[in-house]
Structure 1
């Protein structure tokens, strides 16, 4: 599990492409290496990946074909920056909301506005995910736990403070960029339960 509090952003150090499989290499800072071992879990742009190889400070992750299909990791090139979070440990503070690291889909950046000391990013989202997104609700975007600002047909916005921009890759986003989306699991459970009850005639 993850908390949605991005610990740092890093550039992709190297990329190895094989049929239906990519190996991503990152050079981790010392604080992220502490206790990391083969088989450990790390969220890369919010996607839960397993440590496949450790070469000193270089950490390798394998990305399989389904993950490549669903996430924006498929488009990464060496030098591209991503958000990184180590898996949560027992007794860690949950400053965001609990995430699985299983990406539902990608959303597209529609616009980036930058009023003084703020940043507003608007995304286009597929219709099937709209019922789970509402103002003041939670979503995870590239692994960052964020609160939804406005929601309208096919679009939603988030507001970012300077600290979030400093730690994450959101200050690099431009219109047209694809961002990984993970819906809040509790919201999804409630919405789906209500839908089933309505369909069964128990509500309405």
Structure 2
């Protein structure tokens, strides 16, 4: 499990395509690469990957075709910056909300506003996932636990403070970029349960 509190930014050192998977060499900051064991879980842009090898500060991960299809990892290149979070341990503070590291879908950045001292980013998700979007609800974007601002149809926005921009890759984001989305599990359970009972959520306002 993960908390959605991004621990820092890592660098894609190498991408090695092979039949059925990609192998990634990702360099973490030195203070975050200590104590890693083979088989440990690390969220890379919100996708839970397993450490297969370590070379000093560089960790190696394999991503299967299903992961490449459902996430943005298939589009990363050497030198790209990614958010990372090592798996939570019992007793850790849950500063965000509990995440599984299982990406549900991707979203596209549709607009970026930069008022003084903060940034508002709007995203568009596939229609099928709009039913899980609620104003002030939780969502994970590239592994970061965030609060949804406004929702219109299958678009929603988030408001980011300078610290979030500093500690994550959101400061680099551009219109048209794709991001990984993990829907809040409790929200998904409630919506799906009510749907099975016949209480479907009304279609989002367009």
TM bracket, shorter-chain basis:
over 0.9
In structure 2, distance between residues paired with 1:50 and 1:193? 32
Q: Displacement, 1:199?
A: 6.5
Q: Which residue of 2 aligns with 1:32?
A: 32
Q: Which residue of 1 aligns with 2:204?
A: none
User: Is contact 2:11–2:28 with CA below 8 Å preserved after alignment?
Assistant: no
Q: Displacement, 1:13?
A: 1.0
Q: Pairwise CA RMSD of aligned residues?
A: 1.2
Q: Which residue of 1 aligns with 2:187?
A: 187
Question: Tell me, which stretches of 5 or more residues in structure 1 are unaligned?
Answer: none
Q: Displacement, 1:17?
A: 1.0
In structure 2, distance between residues paired with 1:58 and 1:108? 29
Whether 2:86 is the aligned partner of 1:68: answer: no
Number of equivalences: 200
Q: Which residue of 1 aligns with 2:152?
A: 152
Q: Which residue of 2 aligns with 1:8?
A: 8
Q: Displacement, 1:11?
A: 1.7
Q: Which residue of 2 aligns with 1:22?
A: 22
TM-score by length of 1: 0.96
Q: Which residue of 1 aligns with 2:135?
A: 135
- Greater shift, 115-124 or 14-23, is seen at 14-23
Q: Displacement, 1:73?
A: 0.3
User: What secondary structure does 2:107 align onto?
Assistant: strand
In structure 2, distance between residues paired with 1:57 and 1:136? 37
Q: Which residue of 2 aligns with 1:80?
A: 80
Q: Would the alpha carbon gap of residues 53 and 115 (structure 1) be closer, same or farther in structure 2, given more than 3 Å must change?
A: same
User: Is contact 2:9–2:28 with CA below 8 Å preserved after alignment?
Assistant: no
In structure 2, distance between residues paired with 1:158 and 1:184? 15
In structure 2, distance between residues paired with 1:172 and 1:182? 20
User: What secondary structure does 1:164 align onto?
Assistant: helix
Q: Displacement, 1:57?
A: 1.8
Q: Which residue of 2 aligns with 1:59?
A: 59
TM-score by length of 2: 0.95
In structure 2, distance between residues paired with 1:97 and 1:45? 16
Question: Tell me, which stretches of 5 or more residues in structure 2 are unaligned?
Answer: 201-206
